[in-house]
Amino acid sequence: MTGAPAAGSPSAPRGGRRPSGTGLFVREFARAPLRTASLVPSSPALAERMVAPLRRPSARPPVVVELGPGTGSFTAALRAAAPAARYLALELNPAMADHLEARFPGIDVVRGPASGLARALAERGLGPVDLVVSGLPWQAFAGPEGDALVADVAACLAPSGAHTQFTYSATRWAPPGRRQHRRLQRHFGSVDLSPTVWRNLPPAVVYTATRPVPAVDPCLAGR
């Protein structure tokens, strides 16, 4: 990806940290369980599902945004799937962002909430986006901002773009999970659900939302 080592090159942990960042996850989960939402990083099997839309042939290097990248499980898969992609991440937790930058030198990471998506894209003159990968927990969608965030994601996508979001199979039917599914259906013409990815702790499913509903206020207007 732009500004980062070529795909397939080994990640470059600094200071002896493990690339997957499991220790960091445990620590940050203890500090902020709802915001971190997991004790361990997602697995390569789940990451493969999350980046699957990038496997389509494309005439130009894709623009890819990652929301809540954590320690980079999905980032590694994105790099492998689209080495020439222009990549941008928004990560609220500075310790996670530090880890990501150490693991993928040169990567473009905004330290802040995913709600800064439209501004971050406008500041960089980036878009339309081909894939928005979200590792965000339900807490990031709490309150009225939740709907605005999904609307922003749909608004910044190219008409052929896609948005992937995972959820744990066990909590998929809980009210926040059902609410998120409805939001995706409101802002996208198509929302597909993957089979359960059993090789993840805990098992998870991936929503792939496509055919973004055109926005009245596209994010490239620079809100």
Ligand X SMILES: C[S@@+](CC[C@H](N)C(=O)[O-])C[C@H]1O[C@@H](n2cnc3c(N)ncnc32)[C@H](O)[C@@H]1O
Residues near ligand X (CB under 6 A) are 35-38, 41-42, 67-70, 73-74, 90-93, 96, 113-114, 135-137, 140
Looking at the Cβ atoms of 77 and 191, the one nearer to ligand X is 77
- Quote the least distance from Cβ 100 to ligand X, whole Å: 9
Cα–Cα distance list, 98 to 72, 121, 178, 193 (Å):
11, 21, 33, 32
- Considering the complex, state which of residue 102 and residue 114 has its C-beta at the smaller distance from ligand X: 114
- Least separation in angstroms between residue 170's CB and ligand X is 14
Nearer to ligand X by C-beta: 63 or 149?
149
**CA 25, CA 57: separation in Å to the nearest integer?**
34
> Residue 41 Cβ, how far from ligand X at the closest point, in Å?
4
- Supply the minimum distance, in Å, between the C-beta of residue 112 and ligand X: 7
Instruction: CB nearer to ligand X: give 39 or 220.
Output: 39
